[in-house]
């Protein structure tokens, strides 16, 4: 008799093949049978999934839980959204290897790049390691609600080997490069899934310095890549200089892959400065693969944007002198001050003499900001519904609309402002990028950007928007979207034991109420160590999530089980 049977499932199995009705049996953490309905082996426990969508657990390969694994076994928000495996250590930032005198520096690096509160990391990280292998041992000794894998990041590696020279992006000597390569080899053999770096000037520490690795010569990267070739596994992930990636990065990327045989994964987003550059990147992907060179780009599921709110890291009022005078007051006192008629008059009617960011946001960017009203956020909004559009229709000023929205709901009112992937005023770029055979689903950034971005629920959005709700263009097939964030992402990191509902594979499974799948209202929570803030948004409609055959979610609530473990290296 099997342990669990899931019967009458509307199964989308992760392969990309057509949906079908099926029964699924589970024993000892593995799927033992996938049969036609009514033919499953008898089980001690049966879950009737009639009317439910059943998928593999989602595999999110672009998260930043490197600090959160020290204090949070629940690894939210990913576990609220059907994710059963997450990969961290992206974009060249992490916490190992780490000399004891570099702890605060690494915290400030992560705080600057990924907007994770430094106070939370200072209070929450226990630093029971120095080497990367020791970091894996610490994480591997803990229990989580989902499986977690990691990569070794260039920032801490450079600082560990080169000290301040590495932190300052000074050139590596030949000995420096060889030492870094040796440590990368050690990390991969200990269980790292890859190596990550950053080449974008957008990534800076809290004090404004570029992430170590941003400006390094290709020789240093080739030395590290040679270590990956010696081990024979691992992805090379990096964040590019967004405006010129095809022209400044492509030659060394091709050479690195040629030398190693290992794939490169580079972040791809559309910027307003170069709104059509992504098309050239996709062309170069085709060219590379035609030459047998496996370069891929990670693309997000939607526009990447800021949730402006008074509790957040940034919002338009922050740049007005009348707000600056009161911004450090407790929220209740701040709201009272903002309701004062004279202060309100200043914000609504007085433009700062130097123009500055306040003027730019409320006068030039108001057609790129939308009010957030409830949980059903429109991530593909029309220009006429923007703050500028509302102002034009109602005769109110954009300043007044922004002030009223941010002070609503006891100071929790939000405004959404996309800054990547929305140059065309819709998600057509995202649609085309996801259809490309050499792109991969990524960039949810779960665990990061705590004060400004709420994209950790990307796996849920992929199903709700792209397969069910989109009205401003074609949808994507459900089977394709499930494949994109299950088997395809799992195989990309060598995790061949998951991402597919098939006999012999891990029983990482979601049972979903597809018709009611969605989100609750995004809120600023103060639940990190030291009471630090983060934007959160729960998923709704997850009837059950199983990790290694153990149910972790029951109707959107944790069961209390923690079957997740560290994933060490490729899995077969």
DSSP per residue, 170-225: PPPPHHHHHHHHHHHHHHHHHT--EEEEE--TT-B-TTSPBPTTTT--HHHHHHHH
Q: Which two tokens stand for residue 385?
A: 């519904």
Nearest by Cα to 271 from 241, 246, 248, 301: 241
d(CA 74, CA 146): 8
Per-residue pLDDT of the chain (572 residues; tens, 9 = 90+): 889 999 999 999 999 999 999 999 999 999 999 999 998 889 999 999 999 999 999 999 999 999 999 999 999 999 999 999 999 999 999 999 999 999 999 999 999 999 999 999 999 999 999 999 999 999 999 999 999 999 999 999 999 999 999 999 999 999 999 999 999 999 999 999 999 999 988 898 998 999 999 989 999 999 999 999 999 999 999 988 765 556 678 999 999 999 999 999 999 999 999 999 999 999 999 999 999 999 999 999 999 999 999 999 999 999 999 999 999 999 999 999 999 999 999 999 998 876 788 888 888 899 999 999 887 789 999 999 999 999 999 999 999 999 999 999 999 999 999 999 999 999 999 999 999 999 999 999 999 999 999 899 999 999 999 999 999 999 999 999 999 999 999 999 999 999 999 999 999 999 999 999 999 989 999 999 999 999 999 999 999 999 999 999 999 999 999 999 999 999 99
The pair phi, psi for residue 344, each rounded to 5°, is -60, -40
Give the pLDDT of residue 364. 86
- 3-state SS, residue 260: helix
Give the pLDDT of residue 14. 98
Contact 188, 231 (CB under 8 A): yes
d(CA 116, CA 426): 29
d(CA 365, CA 378): 18
Hey, what CATH topology would domain 59-303+422-512 get? TIM Barrel (3.20.20)
Q: Write the DSSP assignment of 527-567 as a string of letters.
A: -SGGG--EEE--EE-EEEEEETTEEEEETTEE-S---B-B-
d(CA 350, CA 324): 14
Strand partners, 304: 420
Record the pTM: 0.96
Cα separation values, 234 from 85, 297, 522, Å:
17, 16, 35
Contact 110, 93 (CB under 8 A): yes
- Which residues lie closer than 8 Å to 365 by C-beta, 6 or more apart? 417
Nearest by Cα to 497 from 141, 30, 170, 68: 30
Hey, what CATH topology would domain 2-55+513-558 get? Urease, subunit C; domain 1 (2.30.40)
The CA-based angle 120-311-532, given to 5 degrees, is 10
Q: What does the buried/exposed string (b/e) look like for 218-251 if buried means 16 or more CB atoms within 10 Å of the residue's CB? A: eebbbbbbbbbeebebbbbbbbbebeebbeebbe
- 3-state SS, residue 421: coil
The CA-based angle 442-444-446, given to 5 degrees, is 130
The pair phi, psi for residue 295, each rounded to 5°, is -105, 135
- Which residues lie closer than 8 Å to 393 by C-beta, 6 or more apart? none
β-strands 550-554, 542-547: how paired? antiparallel
Strand partners, 558: 553
- 3-state SS, residue 514: helix
- Which residues lie closer than 8 Å to 38 by C-beta, 6 or more apart? 7, 23
- Which residues lie closer than 8 Å to 432 by C-beta, 6 or more apart? 282
Nearest by Cα to 127 from 148, 99, 93, 150: 99
Give the pLDDT of residue 245. 53
Residue keyed to tokens 């002070």: 407
Q: Where are the domains of the chain?
A: 2-55+513-558, 59-303+422-512, 307-416
């Amino acid at each position: 008799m099997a342990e669990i049977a899931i019967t009458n499932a509307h199964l989308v199995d992760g392969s990309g093949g057509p949906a079908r009705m099926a029964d699924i049996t589970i024993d000892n953490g593995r799927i033992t049978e996938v049969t036609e309905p009514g033919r499953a082996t008898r089980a001690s426990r049966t879950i009737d999934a009639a009317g439910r969508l059943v998928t593999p657990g989602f595999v999110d390969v672009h998260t930043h839980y490197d600090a959160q694994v020290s204090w949070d076994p629940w690894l939210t928000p990913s576990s609220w959204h059907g994710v059963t495996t997450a990969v961290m250590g992206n974009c060249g930032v992490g916490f190992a290897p780490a000399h004891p005198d570099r702890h605060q520096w690494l915290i400030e690096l992560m705080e600057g790049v990924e907007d994770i509160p430094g106070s939370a990391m200072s209070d929450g990280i226990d630093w029971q390691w120095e080497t990367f292998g020791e970091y894996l041992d610490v994480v591997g000794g803990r229990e989580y609600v989902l499986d977690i894998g990691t990569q070794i990041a260039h920032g801490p590696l450079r600082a560990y080997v080169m000290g301040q020279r590495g932190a300052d992006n000074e050139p590596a000597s030949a000995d420096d490069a060889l030492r870094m390569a040796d440590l990368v080899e050690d990390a991969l053999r200990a269980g790292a899934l890859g190596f990550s770096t950053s080449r974008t000037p957008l990534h800076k520490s809290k004090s404004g310095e570029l992430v170590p690795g941003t400006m390094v010569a290709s020789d240093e990267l080739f030395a590290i890549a040679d270590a990956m070739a010696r081990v024979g596994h691992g992805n090379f992930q990096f964040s590019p200089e967004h405006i010129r990636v095809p022209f400044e990065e492509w030659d060394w990327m091709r050479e690195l892959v040629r030398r190693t045989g290992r794939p490169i994964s580079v972040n791809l987003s559309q910027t307003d400065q170069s709104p059509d550059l992504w098309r050239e990147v996709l062309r170069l992907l085709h060219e590379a693969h035609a030459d047998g060179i496996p370069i891929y780009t990670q693309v997000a599921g939607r526009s990447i944007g800021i949730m402006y709110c008074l509790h957040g890291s940034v919002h338009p009022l922050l740049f007005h002198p009348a707000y600056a005078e009161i911004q450090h007051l407790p929220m209740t006192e701040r709201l009272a001050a903002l309701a004062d008629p004279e202060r309100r008059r200043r914000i609504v009617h007085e433009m700062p003499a130097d123009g500055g960011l306040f003027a730019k946001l409320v006068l030039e960017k108001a057609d790129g900001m939308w009010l957030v009203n409830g949980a059903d956020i429109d991530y593909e909004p029309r220009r006429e519904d923007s703050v500028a559009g509302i102002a034009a229709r109602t005769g109110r000023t954009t300043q007044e609309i922004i002030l009223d929205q941010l002070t609503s709901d006891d100071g929790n009112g939000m405004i959404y402002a996309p800054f990547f992937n929305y140059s065309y005023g819709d998600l057509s770029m995202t649609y085309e990028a996801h259809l490309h055979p050499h792109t991969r689903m990524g960039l949810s950034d779960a665990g990061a950007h705590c004060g400004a971005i709420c994209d950790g629920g990307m796996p849920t959005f992929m199903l709700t928007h792209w397969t069910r709700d989109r009205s401003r263009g074609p949808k994507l097939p459900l089977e394709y979207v499930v494949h994109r964030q299950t088997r395809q992402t799992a195989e990309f990191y060598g995790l061949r034991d998951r991402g597919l509902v098939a006999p012999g594979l891990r029983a990482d499974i979601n049972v979903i109420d597809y018709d009611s799948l969605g989100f609750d209202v995004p809120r600023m929570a103060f639940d990190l160590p030291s009471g630090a803030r983060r934007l959160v948004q729960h998923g709704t409609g997850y009837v059950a999530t199983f990790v290694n055959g153990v149910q972790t979610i029951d109707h959107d609530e944790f069961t209390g089980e923690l079957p997740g473990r560290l994933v060490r290296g490729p899995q077969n």
